[in-house]
Structures are given as structure tokens and as C-alpha cells.
A and B are shown apart, each in its own frame.
Chain A
Amino acid sequence: AQSVTQPDIHITVSEGASLELRCNYSYGATPYLFWYVQSPGQGLQLLLKYFSGDTLVQGIKGFEAEFKRSQSSFNLRKPSVHWSDAAEYFCAVGARTGANNLFFGTGTRLTVIP
């Protein structure tokens, strides 16, 4: 069965500092991996996705993520965080059969301090 683990419930970084949010997955085949961001009162917005090919994926808002099969990880990174990046971040695995629904982690809340 698919599962996603986000070990960090809450992370605080200073504005301008680099960021890395961790994501580990469990899936029996080649995974489809996603990162979503959720701001208060807003729907989930897709930051980036990995299907195949280059393991370093670029997304919107300056985010990138690297797929590491050997570590079953898909960590999200940003070199310089902006105050507007404060939000909840969710890593997700896509099911390859059936409904193609998403399996989400429990999320990491990012706080940015000036």
C-alpha cells in the first residue's frame, strides 16, 4: 500500500535562508510524486511533480525537489525563502491504477521569521 511520511510537523526558518522539507514514501512500483502547498483558506496548489526522467524537478515559486529512489525520498528545497512561503506543504504519491487518486503525507507547516 502507498504511504507518505513527512517527519517534520513544523519548521521555522528565517527569511532568506534555505529550506528543505523532507518526504519519504512507500510504494511498490515507480512512484508518481507531488508537492502541494496550502495557504490558509486556500485550496491545494501544485508546486511540482515527478513522473520519470530527470530526478531533479523544478517547480513554481523557485522550488525544486529531488527524487532519490535509493532513499525513497522526494525532498523539497528552496535556496532562499520569502515571507510569502509560509504555508502548509504536503507531499503526495499518485496511485498508478484505479482512480489515480493522491495519497498525502500529514504535512509540514512552514513559519518564516523576518
Chain B
Amino acid sequence: GAGVSQSPRYKVAKRGQDVALRCDPISGHVSLFWYQQALGQGPEFLTYFQNEAQLDKSGLPSDRFFAERPEGSVSTLKIQRTQQEDSAVYLCASSLGQGATWHDEQYFGPGTRLTVT
């Protein structure tokens, strides 16, 4: 069956440009997470959606980062005025449940590698 997909897989942006990264979760999954993985590091939490509601955005590093999930399925992570320190792999994950239980596995997409030059 289809897993979590992300597009584009690779994105090169010039410093100052805006970028939009897309995540298609597994159909029917209520919860959606965004993580940022810098080179040589583990993923770090950015934000969490339950359906269309953004319930936690405590990990977003600055107000240049914005995420949405308007219809409770596809999500977009937008980065405005990109900086070199934004270069990383951005991972999306989805899970079936409503965030109240750890028995729902998080399924990860392949990520989008963003390089800011």
C-alpha cells in the first residue's frame, strides 16, 4: 500500500527565497508530524497536526516557518526567506491515532532535502 510521500525530494533554494514542501500522509491517518534533520543529526520535532488543527508548533525554529493542513490530509511546510541554516532534510510522519496513544506507529516519508545556497 502507499506510504507517506513527500515532494519534492530535493530542493535547492537561493538564500532569501521562499520554499514549500509537501507531505501526503497515509490515507485516513489523523496525526501528522514534521521533523527537521540536519546533517549528522537525529530528526528534531517541528510541529504536529491532528486533522486540520495544528496542536503543537513549539519546534518551529522561527516565524519564517509555517505549516498548514487545511483539509486534514495533505500538509505543506513553508519556509520564508530561507537561510543557509535551514539546509536540512525535512521529514513528515503520520499516524492513525489522535495522538493520545503511543500504540499508533508513526510512519515516515523519505524526506525532502533542502539545500540553501
Interface residues of A (CB under 8 A from B): 4, 32, 36, 41-46, 49, 51, 90, 92, 94, 96, 98-107
Q: List 16 A-B contacts (CB under 8 A).
A: A36-B108, A43-B4, A43-B110, A43-B111, A44-B43, A46-B105, A96-B102, A98-B58, A99-B55, A100-B48, A100-B102, A101-B35, A102-B43, A105-B42, A106-B40, A107-B40
In the complex, what residue of chain B is closest to A33 when comparing beta carbons?
B102
Considering the chains assembled together, what is the distance between the CA atoms of A94 and B44 in angstroms? 12
- By beta carbon, the residue of chain A nearest B95 is A100
A45 to B100, CA, bound (A): 21
Across the two chains, which residue of chain B brings its CB closest to A109?
B40
The answer to whether B3 has its CB under 8 Å from any CB of chain A is yes
- Chain B residues near A94 (CB-CB < 8 A): 102
User: How far is A32 from B103 in the complex, measured between Cα atoms in Å?
Assistant: 10
At the interface, is chain B mostly helix, strand, loop or mixed?
loop
Q: Given A42-B110, A43-B91, A90-B42: A101 and B102 within 8 A (CB)?
A: no
Minimal beta-carbon separation of A53 from chain B (angstroms): 13
Task: From B45, B59, B93, B102, name the one whose CB has the most chain A CB atoms within 10 angstroms.
Answer: B102
Contact A101 B41 (CB under 8 A): no
- Is B28 part of the binding interface, using a Cβ–Cβ cutoff of 8 Å? no
B99 close to chain A: CB less than 8 A: yes
Contact B108 A45 (CB under 8 A): yes
8 Å CB contacts to A: which residues of B28-58?
Answer: 31, 33, 35, 40-45, 48, 55-56, 58
